[in-house]
């Protein structure tokens, strides 16, 4: 082979190598573009509330994404989609995968907060509070104390502990809307213990305390009647009659009076809490679980 031929084949070989790498690079760039189109399409389906189709496209994206470029964002969006469909266990599963594939502290924190929000929604409050405590003690998130207090406040709301919720929202902002609402709810609620004590001292008073006046009047009337008959029987030495009436009627209505006082206070408190939750669901514009 002549020197000229060697030079020719050398340049041919170099050209083929360059062509191969350029072709491979071009192919890879096209593939990445297709993945982005796939992800954007899935997001569009999510925004249209076509959740089943969105999940299908995102799972297809994850399967073809060998470089795992979308492992965090796709799993995060799948979790959010399942959450919107009230499939909370599936949502937590994919938010956990997002935690695993997070690439920085911001992504890690956001995914963990999403898990906490799902736990709040499904009312596994102990788990939510435990996760919040874990975030609170993690030095990587020392700049996230306000966010942690905010979601802890929501956890206490769903646990019906409005006083504790007010304390947490106060850490966010002493003038926060949710702090004022929590204080208002707490102050509006009836004391179950007070209702029972009032009825213990004066039958029917606990029902009056909770605004159940007819029940209060009936409790007072029945206790007055059977109490009078019981005491009168003992005064007239009708001991057996006094014991029977006292045990079967007076004490029965007296215990029922205490139970009603407790029940009515709890029902009133539930009404107050549900009214506040209804406001939060439909009127409150801030971040919600």
Burial 43-68 (b: 16+ CB within 10 A, else e): bebbeeeebeebbebbeebbeebeee
Picking from 37-51, 195-209, 220-234, 267-281, which range would have the lowest pLDDT averaged per residue? 220-234
- Per-residue pLDDT for 149 more than 90? yes
pTM of the model: 0.80
**DSSP 8-state class, residue 283:** T
Position of tokens 């003992």? Answer: 234
User: In the numeric block, which tokens belong to residue 14?
Assistant: 């170099």
Q: For residue 2, what pLDDT band results from cuts at 50, 70 and 90?
A: low
- Mean predicted confidence (pLDDT) in 225-246: 68
| Separation in Å, CA 218 to CA 172, 204, 208 | 48, 7, 11
Q: Is pLDDT above 60 for 12?
A: no
**CATH superfamily of the domain spanning 3-101:** Tetratricopeptide repeat domain (1.25.40.10)
Cα angle 199-205-209, degrees, rounded to a multiple of 5: 115
Predicted pLDDT at 126: 97
2: helix, strand or coil = coil
**Phi/psi of residue 285, each to 5°?**
-100, -5
Taking the domains of the chain in order of start, what are their residue ranges? 3-101, 192-280
pLDDT digits (tens, 9 = 90+) for 13-22: 444 344 444 4
Is residue 135 over pLDDT 70?
yes
Closest CA to 108 of 70, 142, 137, 135: 135
What is the per-residue pLDDT across 188-232, written as a single tens digit (0 to 9) for each? 998 888 888 877 787 877 787 788 778 777 787 776 675 667 777
- What band does 6 get if pLDDT is binned at 50, 70 and 90? very low
Query: Widest CA span of the chain, in angstroms?
Result: 142
Residues 6+ apart with CB under 8 A from 273: 160, 162, 185, 189
CA angle 168, 172, 178 (to 5 degrees): 70
Query: Quick count: other Cβ atoms within 10 Å of Cβ 220?
Result: 19
Q: What angle do CA 235, 238, 244 make, to 5 degrees?
A: 110
DSSP string, 20-82: HHHHHHHHHHHHHHHHHHHHHHHHHHHHTT-HHHHHHHHHHHHHH-TT-TTHHHHHHHHHHHH
d(CA 104, CA 200): 60
Q: How far is CA 21 from CA 8, 18, 33, 214, in A?
A: 20, 5, 18, 89
């Amino acid at each position: 082979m002549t020197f000229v031929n060697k030079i020719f084949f050398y340049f041919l070989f170099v050209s083929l190598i360059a062509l191969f790498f350029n072709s491979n690079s071009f192919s890879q760039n096209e593939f990445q573009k297709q993945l982005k189109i796939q992800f954007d399409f899935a997001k569009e389906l999510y925004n249209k509330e076509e959740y089943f189709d969105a999940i299908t496209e995102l799972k297809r994206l994850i399967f073809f994404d060998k470089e795992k470029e979308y492992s965090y964002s796709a799993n995060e969006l799948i979790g959010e989609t399942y959450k919107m469909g009230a499939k909370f266990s599936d949502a937590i599963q994919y938010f956990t995968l997002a935690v695993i594939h997070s690439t920085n502290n911001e992504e890690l924190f956001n995914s963990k907060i999403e898990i906490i929000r799902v736990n709040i929604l499904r009312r596994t409050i102990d788990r939510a509070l435990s996760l919040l405590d874990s975030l609170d003690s993690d030095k990587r998130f020392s700049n996230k104390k306000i966010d942690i207090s905010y979601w802890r406040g929501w956890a206490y709301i769903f646990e019906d502990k409005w006083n504790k919720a007010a304390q947490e929202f106060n850490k966010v902002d002493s003038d926060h809307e949710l702090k004022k609402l929590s204080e208002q709810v707490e102050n509006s609620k009836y004391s179950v213990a007070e209702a029972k004590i009032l009825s213990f001292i004066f039958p029917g008073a606990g029902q009056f305390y909770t605004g159940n006046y007819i029940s209060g009047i009936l409790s007072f009337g029945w206790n007055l009647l059977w109490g009078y008959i019981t005491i009168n029987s003992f005064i007239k030495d009708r001991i057996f009659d006094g014991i029977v009436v006292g045990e079967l009627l007076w004490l029965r209505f007296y215990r029922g009076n205490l139970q009603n006082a407790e029940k009515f206070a709890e029902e009133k408190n539930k009404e107050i809490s549900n009214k506040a939750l209804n406001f939060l669901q439909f009127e409150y514009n801030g971040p919600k679980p």
